[in-house]
Structure 1
C-alpha cells in the first residue's frame, strides 16, 4: 500500500461529480489527510480512463451482486412485496428500490460506506453485514486491532434498503 498526500477540496468535489457520489464526512476527512492507494484501495486522484472505469465497476459491484443472487439464488426481500414469477420483474422492482437507496462508497476491497452514514458494510452479493459502526471501528476490525465480535452492535442504525437485505438473510 502506498500513502499519497490527501485530496484537496477541489479533488473531492471532482470525484463526487464524476462518480455521482457524496463521500460520508469521516471518509472525506480521511481522504483529505491521506490517500491510501493499492489494488484494494481506490486511487481517487487518478482520473485516467482506465481508472475511472475501474472505480465505476467498484461502485456498480453491489448492484451486480444483487442481480446475481436474484437470478441464481432466488433472492427476494419480503418487504419488497409479493415475489413476481418473472426474474426480469424481480430485477426491475429491486432496481427501483436500489435507485433510491443510499449509494455505497467503496473504502477497501468489498467494504463500503453508505452515503449519509458513518457505518461500514461488508458487501458480497446479498451477503451484507455491518463491519463497523464508524470508520475508525471498521479499521480497527479490518486491521485485527479489535475482534469483530466486539463491534459496537448496540449503535448500529438502520440504513434504507441495505438493512432490509441484511435482515432478509438472517
Structure 2
C-alpha cells in the first residue's frame, strides 16, 4: 500500500515562520556553483543572507511612529523574520549598458522610512489615479459618478477611510490590517487592479518566496530538452486545500474593487463574467457604469 507522504510544511503559524527562517537561510548558504537545485539555484546577491527580526519594543515604537497597528500574525512575522541583512540587487538594460538597482527583500521598518511612507500612501494614490479620469474606474456602491475630480475624491476618500487598512510588506504587496476580520489576506495592489496574493501570511510567503524556500523541483521536458520548475507535492497540497476554502470569503470594501476587474475574481474562487476557459485573458472591467464603454485595463508606470 502506498504510504501518504508526511506534509513537511508546518500548519502552526509560529512554527511555520521558524521553518521559513531555517529553510531559506539553508538555501541561501549554498553557492550557485555548489547548489543541487537545477531549477532555482541560490542567486549570488542573497548568498549567506540572514533574517533580522525586531524586538517587541521596536515593533511598538514603529506602530507609534507611523500611527498604525500590526495584527498579531504581522507582529510574529516582524519578530521572527522582518527583513534580511541586505538589499535585493536587480538589473536592467539602458542604452546597451547593464544598470543595477537595489530594493528591499521585505521592508526594513527600522531603516526604510522613505519607502515605507511612500508605500503607506500607495493604495490611496494609485487607486485614485484610476478613479479620477472622466471614464475611470467607478464602483457601483458609489452611486452616480460626479463630474468634478474634487467630488470624486471626496466619495473615494470616504470609502477608503472605511476600508480595512493596508500595511506594506514588500513592493506593492500589503497585509490587510483590521482586528475584526476572519481573514487578513495579503493583497497585491497595482492601482485598481488588486488581487489576493495569499489569504493569510503563511499562504502568501509560500507563494511569494517559493524559490527561496526551495519548493520547486526540476522536471525535464523531453520535447524541449530543458528543465522547468514544478511545485513540490507538499506545496501543491497546501494550495489545493486553500482553493477549496475560497467560496464565501470576503474583504469588506476591497472585494468590490477587486471584482471590478476580471483579474480579481479568481481571488475568491469565482469565474468572472465572460470567462471562456482560456489560460491568458485580457484584464477587462466586469462592472461598467452607464456613461462609459468597456475597455481593457491599461497599465501605467506608478512611481
TM-score > 0.5 by shorter chain:
yes
Distance 1:15 1:124 in 2: 25
Unaligned runs of 5+ in 1: none
What residue is the counterpart of 1:152 in the other structure? 242
Which of these residues, 90, 114, 122, is aligned with residue 61 of structure 1? 122
Partner of residue 141, structure 1: 207
Consecutive unaligned residues of structure 2, counting only runs of 5 or more, are 1-45, 88-102, 216-234, 263-303
Q: Given the alignment of the two structures, is residue 43 of structure 1 paired with residue 135 of structure 2, yes or no?
A: no
Secondary structure in 2 matching 1:128: strand
- On the 8 A contact 1:103/1:115 being kept in 2, the answer is yes
Q: 1:71-128 deviations in whole A, cap 9, x for unaligned?
A: 2461111112221122221111001111122110111111111102531111100100
How many positions carry a matched residue from both structures? 165
CA RMSD of aligned residues (A): 2.2
Deviation of the 1:4 alpha carbon: 4.2
Which structure shows the higher helix fraction? 1
CA distance in 2, matches of 1:151, 1:18: 39
Question: 1:115: which partner in 2?
Answer: 177
| Greater Cα shift, 68-77 or 14-23 | 68-77
Per the normalisation by structure 1, the TM-score is 0.85
Normalized against structure 2, the TM-score is what?
0.50
1:168 and 2:275 equivalent?
A: no
Larger mean Cα displacement after TM superposition, 92-101 or 79-88: 79-88
Alignment match of 2:64 (pick from 7, 13, 17): 17
Q: Check the 8 A contact 1:70/1:87 in 2, yes or no.
A: no
Say if 1:132 and 1:152, in contact at 8 Å, map to a contact too. Answer: no
Residue 95 of structure 1 is matched in structure 2 by 157
Contact 1:24–1:113 (CA under 8 A) maintained in structure 2: no
Equivalent pair of 1:137/1:151 in contact (CA under 8 Å): no
2:145 pairs with 1:83 = yes
State the secondary structure of the residue aligned to 1:160.
coil
Q: Distance in 1 between matches of 2:242 and 2:144?
A: 34
Change over 3 Å in CA distance of 1:93–1:84 after alignment to 2: same
